[in-house]
Amino acid sequence: MMAGILDGVRILDFTQMKTGPMGTQLLADLGADVIKVERPGGGEWERGFPAFGRFTAAGASPFFLSLNRNKRSLAIDLRSARARDAIYRLMPTVDVVVQNFRPGVLDRLGYGYEALRALRPDVVYCSSSGYGGRGPYVERPGQDLLAQALSGMVLANGTADRPMPVASTVADGATALMVAIAILGGLVHRLRTGEGQYVEVDLLSTLIALQQEEIAAILNLSPRPEFRRSESGVPAPWLSAPYGIYPTKDERYLAIAMNPLDRLAALLDLPALNAYASPEKAFSHRDEVKRLIEARTREDTQAHWVAHLLAADIWCAPVQSLAEAVDDPQVRHNELIRSLRHPVLGDVGVVATPIRYSATPPTYRLAPPLAGEHSRAVLAEAGLTAAEIEALVAAGVVTEPPVDAAGGGGGGDRPDGSARAPGARAPQSNG
Amino acid sequence: MMAGILDGVRILDFTQMKTGPMGTQLLADLGADVIKVERPGGGEWERGFPAFGRFTAAGASPFFLSLNRNKRSLAIDLRSARARDAIYRLMPTVDVVVQNFRPGVLDRLGYGYEALRALRPDVVYCSSSGYGGRGPYVERPGQDLLAQALSGMVLANGTADRPMPVASTVADGATALMVAIAILGGLVHRLRTGEGQYVEVDLLSTLIALQQEEIAAILNLSPRPEFRRSESGVPAPWLSAPYGIYPTKDERYLAIAMNPLDRLAALLDLPALNAYASPEKAFSHRDEVKRLIEARTREDTQAHWVAHLLAADIWCAPVQSLAEAVDDPQVRHNELIRSLRHPVLGDVGVVATPIRYSATPPTYRLAPPLAGEHSRAVLAEAGLTAAEIEALVAAGVVTEPPVDAAGGGGGGDRPDGSARAPGARAPQSNG
């Protein structure tokens, strides 16, 4: 069997919601042993987050399932001194710690960088937050939509009369990748020097970096450009036609990216386009250009236009639904959709890590865990005796899943039996 | 001076446009010596890509400036056998190769993995493409908007009657982060085992992974959910109210993320909201909920609502423009906006790498280069004699910037003097 890149690397994972869990899942796919620390009982907050207002038949949140494979779950009450003792005993075996509580919360509980490096001097400790661990927004709630709003992304998106956030949680997703980069970089440094360190990422900074091209336009163009969303639907304030989405006769859509207007003029039999071929005109008259092309694409089907334009190597693609994307032949070819078998939850569909290493491919070993599924195993690895573990379970400091557990979410396994609406228990998290 | 994580690591960078350059720039910020290989003369394609139809006063593309600091430029004609000889002589000093030509192009020119590993057996070789190096789409043009269209992202975004792509190039940006992860993972493996390998990422797979939460809803909810964009502007087909963007009296906007509706009902004095507090109703009646809240937020200013709701720790934020974001106090605090001095281009504004390492912070050493600015220096490091270099320059196989160079883009330094419209020379690139 081929070894994973991070085989033997242990990550103690205090994260919740999306950013942290998605980042550590990627590292778990590369072979790391990720120990997910959750609240006793119902476990992590994301287990109670519905999609389309719903949970799976087994009562699990699809969102939670998507972000937590290849991890082991330790459900433990971090506020308890006995929990702290157990985790401190685990620390000598831990290479990486990662957390995304609001700044300061975990420090106050005794799990900050200074406390944990005392037990493991070369630990790589990564914090992810909404805005950073210091500065004017340190007390504010940090979350994907809020970071999008502050970062300028909402006002750049949407139509002329309605700004729109990005539907998918791109702040969370991109910051998850920053978490992975931060930790891998820390491990490279540790392998080269033997030294650990503290490293921080945050949602707002990541979105600023993701928009570095358009910010460079603000910083380097004089006079500073105006950000006006297009009337006709050119996707971004800084882009020219033909860039955009075009309706077709069969009520589908066609995407056309940057392409020379003179070539499009010939291929679409639209000589009027030639008047806009300069960069300046392609920008200043983008709505006219878009409407001209739109009128033509409505005259035939998506399949026709894709075939016609691809034959001339025009940069275009059919617009597909997410369900079509899941069944797309290239997505299948890339083996991005996987199924994992869980003894209680049944078959769980997940999306693979999209990095294809020739010598050390990502592996998919464990289905997303039930809250506390590995509490005993992890504590035993920390050196706790069976009697010590039993005492923690008896005291409720550590929990295991009930025998008939359904995995959190909409199920009835929580002590108070309540349904958890989005945000019903806002966690002390900051992305 | 503190050492960078990748000090002494040399990256031979054959990438162009955004994905590759943004990925290698991040690694350059971590200390790597990135040698950017460009076409002789005008250099990389992105130098000719305008923003808002414009270039800087010095004739440079703001987009190019944003993605290429901390790199040295070697302008060389890859089709020439003499160029190949020079690059082969450089290879023993190279740790990482990265490229994003269309699949097969670089192999045919003699710079594929098999050819280069023969010269440097432990090289980490990363390819980035639109869809992957094999499979049904291998011949198709690959680019951000096209990957968004195929991935389902376009149809998930926008308003009920108009699907919209994400304005910012998220496929490129997130895949750039995948490039960085792929290479850092490869370096971790090499440090642990001495072995190099080939690794691949692509735009479409990255967007599938970025949407893993919503795909998990498709894979794990039964019956499969319908993807309907909201009438009133709830951002995503799978999200419930109050999630969204709300207009205020002063013609600004307020972002409200997941929050318990009963708390909002009290804080906004909107008891009608209580009827929708269950997860099912918050989803099925999301447009009604959004309109109720919208009517209230229009009655006062953005500043009022942000202060009122943040005081109650409601997850909200003001919606800012990108220009406001650049001047945002937290963005300033995080030192995300930097200026680099270039002897020809003048002061260049760029966005920093948003990862804060305590021991090995990213550094900003070099402004974005002119095409060929470091041609002679790099070739000398490959062991070429002064006479050999002179001969390559005389033959036009290698170029240096003209004495009065303006940095490409809209300037007149290209041999044919033509303006380059977007896509006027579609590169052999695939993301």
Can you give the C-alpha Rg of chain B in angstroms?
25
Q: What mean pLDDT comes out for the span B96-111?
A: 96
Structure tokens at B212: 């893993």
Mean pLDDT of chain B: 92
Return the SS3 of B335. coil
Crossing angle, helix A81-90 and helix A386-394, to 10 degrees? 150
CB-nearest partner of A215 from B146, B314, B326:
B326
Q: What is the predicted pLDDT for the residue at A413? A: 32
CB contact under 8 A, A200 and B356: yes
Q: Which of B70, B60, B77 is nearest to B23 (CA)?
A: B70
Which letter, b or e, does each residue of B271-305 get, where b requires 16 or more Cβ atoms within 10 Å of its Cβ?
A: eebeebbebbbbbebbebbbebbbeebeeeebeeb
CB contact under 8 A, B319 and A154: yes
Look at the alpha carbons of B187, B189, B193, B195 in this order and tell me if their dihedral is positive or negative: negative
Query: Which residues of chain A have a CB within 8 Å of the CB of B354?
Result: 178, 201-202, 205-206, 208-209
Over its length of 431 residues, how does chain A's per-residue pLDDT go in tens digits?
A: 458 999 999 999 999 999 999 999 999 999 999 999 999 999 999 999 999 999 999 999 999 999 999 999 999 999 999 999 999 999 999 999 999 999 999 999 999 999 999 999 999 999 999 999 999 999 999 999 999 999 999 999 988 888 999 999 999 999 999 999 999 999 999 999 999 999 999 999 999 999 999 999 999 999 999 988 988 888 899 999 899 999 999 999 999 998 889 999 999 999 999 999 998 999 999 999 999 999 999 999 999 999 999 999 999 999 999 999 999 999 999 999 999 999 899 999 999 999 999 999 999 999 999 999 999 999 999 999 999 999 999 999 999 998 766 544 433 333 232 333 333 333 444 55
Residue B394 and residue A4: Cα distance in Å, rounded? 49
Q: Which of B35, B58, B222 is nearest to A348 (CA)?
A: B222
pTM: 0.94
Residue A149 and residue B109: Cα distance in Å, rounded? 46
Query: Which residues of chain A have a CB within 8 Å of the CB of B260?
Result: 421-424, 426
Is B420 near chain A, with CB under 8 Å?
A: yes
Return the SS3 of A36. strand
Lowest mean pLDDT segment, chosen from B133-142, B215-224, B402-411: B402-411
Q: What is the predicted pLDDT for the residue at B404? A: 67
CB-nearest partner of B141 from A30, A65, A313:
A313
Q: For residue B205, how far is the Cα from the chain centroid?
A: 15
Report the first-to-last Cα separation within chain B, whole angstroms: 36
Confidence of residue B405 (pLDDT cuts 50, 70, 90): low
A387/chain B closest Cα distance in angstroms: 38
Residue B142 and residue B133: Cα distance in Å, rounded? 11
Share of chain B above pLDDT 90, in %: 87
Is A11 near chain B, with CB under 8 Å?
A: no
CB contact under 8 A, A319 and B155: yes
Vertex A424: Cα angle to A412 and A200 (nearest 5): 110
Q: Which amino acid is at B234?
A: V
Q: What mean pLDDT comes out for the span B73-95?
A: 98
Q: Which of A190, A63, A60 is nearest to A123 (CA)?
A: A190
Is A275 near chain B, with CB under 8 Å?
A: no
What ipTM did this prediction achieve?
0.94
CB contact under 8 A, B279 and A244: no
CB-nearest partner of B238 from A52, A193, A211:
A52
Q: Which of A234, A163, A378, A9 is nearest to B189 (CA)?
A: A9
Q: What mean pLDDT comes out for the span B185-194?
A: 98
| Number of other residues whose CB lies within 10 A of the CB of residue B310 | 16
Q: For residue B180, how far is the Cα from the chain centroid?
A: 11
Q: Which amino acid is at B52?
A: F
Residue B59 and residue B417: Cα distance in Å, rounded? 13
Q: Which of A314, A320, A325 is nearest to A257 (CA)?
A: A314
* Contacting residues for A4 by C-beta, under 8 A, at least 6 apart: A30, A31, A32, A360, A362, A363
CB contact under 8 A, A215 and B244: no
Strands (E), A223-289: 244-247, 253-256
Is A158 near chain B, with CB under 8 Å?
A: yes
Share of chain B above pLDDT 70, in %: 93
Q: What is the predicted pLDDT for the residue at A187? A: 98
Q: Which amino acid is at B151?
A: S
Pick the catalytic residue: A29, A172, A202, A413? A172
Query: Tell me: the pLDDT tens digits for B257-276?
Result: 988 899 999 999 999 999 99
Q: Which of A178, A5, A203 is nearest to A95 (CA)?
A: A5
Is A153 near chain B, with CB under 8 Å?
A: yes
Q: Which of B202, B200, B240, B212 is nearest to B153 (CA)?
A: B212
List the 40-69 stretch of B: residues with Cβ below 8 A of A: 49-54, 56-57, 60, 62-63, 65-67
Query: Which residues of chain B have a CB within 8 Å of the CB of A114?
Result: none
Checking if the pLDDT of B418 tops 80, the result is no
Q: Which of A358, A12, A11, A20 is nearest to B189 (CA)?
A: A358
| Number of other residues whose CB lies within 10 A of the CB of residue B154 | 26
Query: Which residues of chain B have a CB within 8 Å of the CB of A318?
Result: 149-150
| Number of other residues whose CB lies within 10 A of the CB of residue B118 | 11
Query: Which residues of chain B have a CB within 8 Å of the CB of A219?
Result: 62, 326, 337, 349-350
Residue A292 and residue B15: Cα distance in Å, rounded? 34
Q: Which of B110, B97, B101 is nearest to B130 (CA)?
A: B101
Query: Which residues of chain B have a CB within 8 Å of the CB of A258?
Result: 49, 143, 422-423
Is residue B382 a contact partner of residue B85, using CB atoms and an 8 Å limit? no
A287-to-A113, A178, A242, A290, B420 alpha-carbon distances in Å: 53, 36, 9, 5, 21
Is residue B302 a contact partner of residue B248, using CB atoms and an 8 Å limit? yes
Q: Which residue of A has its CA nearest to B167?
A: A236
Residue B250 and residue B267: Cα distance in Å, rounded? 20
Query: Which residues of chain A have a CB within 8 Å of the CB of B314?
Result: 141
CB contacts < 8 A (A, B): 608
Residue B256 and residue B239: Cα distance in Å, rounded? 12
Is A166 near chain B, with CB under 8 Å?
A: yes
Is B148 near chain A, with CB under 8 Å?
A: yes
Return the SS3 of A279. helix
Q: Which amino acid is at A80?
A: S
Is residue B245 a contact partner of residue A163, using CB atoms and an 8 Å limit? yes
Q: What is the predicted pLDDT for the residue at B426? A: 39
Is B135 near chain A, with CB under 8 Å?
A: yes
Structure tokens at B341: 């001095």
Structure tokens at B399: 């170029």
A179/chain B closest Cα distance in angstroms: 9
Q: What is the DSSP string of A133-186?
A: SSSTTTTS---HHHHHHHHTHHHHSEETTEE---SS-HHHHHHHHHHHHHHHHH
Greatest alpha-carbon pair distance for chain B in Å reads 83
Choose from B267, B355, B418 for mutation: most chain A CBs within 10 A: B355
Beta sheet of A253-256, edge-to-edge order: A244-247, A253-256, A316-318
Determine whether B85 is an active site residue.
no
Greatest alpha-carbon pair distance for chain A in Å reads 83
Q: What's the burial of A375, exposed, middle or buried (CB within 10 Å: 0-12/13-18/19+)?
A: buried
Q: What is the predicted pLDDT for the residue at A198? A: 98
H or E, element range at B75: strand B71-76
Structure tokens at A42: 């119902």
Can you give the C-alpha Rg of chain A in angstroms?
25
Confidence of residue B406 (pLDDT cuts 50, 70, 90): low
